[in-house]
């Protein structure tokens, strides 16, 4: 099991940002730091939990794969909603806005002090892609790439998502990952396929029978039954190695 460290840092006036630092082994000097943005409201409530934290199979994909992702080359930083957005979590407008950028700049500063030689990648899953895409466009070469997984491209009752976002505003390397059978209405595969004209896309097929609703993690939307090959593929991309365009 990977080692966990809860980190809480000040950001804006009167606001703190918590993140869970996950690594294995605990003394790892990584080549890559993955800064992960979970879906839904993005509110995990990390500061109220004791480490080591336990997350079941129904948790967000980026938390579920933590023990597969981290190794001697990779550490994972799972970002919570900031203190002024808990417990309700973050809206799309907040994820797209200046305050979120300020908070994550503080996280980046802290991470770079810990791992000055590591490359940093943003990774978002589902609604977390709103954060990852918006931040990637604004942070420039402060980070080395962004992975958008199950990208939320259609507006829904929760907000605009990335329906009006200009993906051409991202000037760093982008990788898309999407399940062909993603049944979550705001996250259709055909929009990822359209974006693949500009960015590389890993298309995922198959997996285990769903054990959750179509927008939850134990379904095609969360690559249920495909954790290991999907994790391996995104690791390879971040390390500059060959990676599959199809996972079946």
Residue with tokens 């259709």: 188
Cis bond leading into 52, ω under 30°? Answer: yes
Q: What is the pLDDT of residue 50?
A: 86
Asked whether 161 and 184 are in contact (CB, 8 A), the reply is no
Phi, psi (rounded to 5 degrees) for 61: -50, -45
Q: Number of folded domains in the chain? A: 1
Q: How far apart are CA 175 and CA 172, in angstroms?
A: 10
* Residue 58 CB coordination number (10 Å): 12
* Dihedral (CA of 237, 189, 209, 67) sign: positive
- Residue 136: which domain range? 3-247
User: Tens-digit pLDDT profile for the chain (248 aa)?
Assistant: 789 999 999 999 999 999 999 999 988 889 999 999 999 999 999 999 988 899 988 899 999 999 999 999 999 999 999 999 999 999 999 999 999 999 999 999 999 999 999 999 999 999 999 999 999 999 999 999 999 999 999 999 999 999 999 999 999 999 999 999 999 999 999 999 999 999 999 999 999 999 999 999 999 999 999 999 999 999 999 999 999 999 99
Which residues, 6+ apart, have CB-to-CB distance to 57 below 8 Å? Answer: 64, 217, 218
Q: What is the pLDDT of residue 57?
A: 87
In this prediction the pTM is 0.97
Q: How far apart are CA 103 and CA 120, in angstroms?
A: 16
Report the CATH number at residue 205: 3.40.50.1820
pLDDT tens track for 190-221:
999 999 999 999 999 999 999 999 999 999 99
Q: What is the pLDDT of residue 241?
A: 97
Give Cα 105 to chain centroid, integer Å: 16
């Amino acid at each position: 099991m990977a080692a966990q460290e809860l980190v809480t840092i000040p950001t804006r006036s009167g606001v703190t940002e918590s993140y869970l630092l996950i690594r294995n082994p605990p003394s790892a000097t990584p080549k890559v730091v993955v800064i992960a943005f979970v879906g839904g409201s993005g509110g995990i409530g990390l500061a109220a939990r004791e480490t080591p934290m336990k997350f079941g199979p129904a948790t967000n994909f980026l938390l579920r794969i933590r023990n597969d992702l981290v190794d001697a080359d990779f550490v994972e930083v799972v970002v919570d909603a900031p203190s002024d957005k808990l417990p309700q979590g973050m809206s799309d407008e907040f994820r797209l806005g200046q305050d979120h950028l300020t908070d994550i700049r503080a996280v980046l500063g802290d991470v770079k002090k810990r791992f000055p030689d590591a490359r940093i990648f943003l990774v978002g899953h589902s609604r977390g892609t709103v954060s990852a895409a918006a931040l990637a466009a604004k942070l420039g070469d402060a980070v080395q790439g962004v992975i958008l997984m199950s990208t939320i491209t259609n507006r829904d009752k929760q907000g605009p998502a990335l329906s009006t976002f200009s993906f051409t505003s991202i000037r760093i390397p982008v990788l898309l990952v999407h399940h062909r059978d993603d049944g979550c209405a705001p996250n259709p595969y055909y929009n990822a396929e359209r974006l693949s004209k500009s960015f590389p896309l890993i298309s995922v097929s198959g997996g285990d029978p769903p054990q959750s609703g179509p927008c939850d993690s134990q379904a095609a939307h969360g690559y249920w039954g495909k954790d290991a090959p999907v994790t391996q593929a995104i690791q390879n991309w971040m390390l500059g190695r060959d990676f599959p365009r199809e996972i079946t």
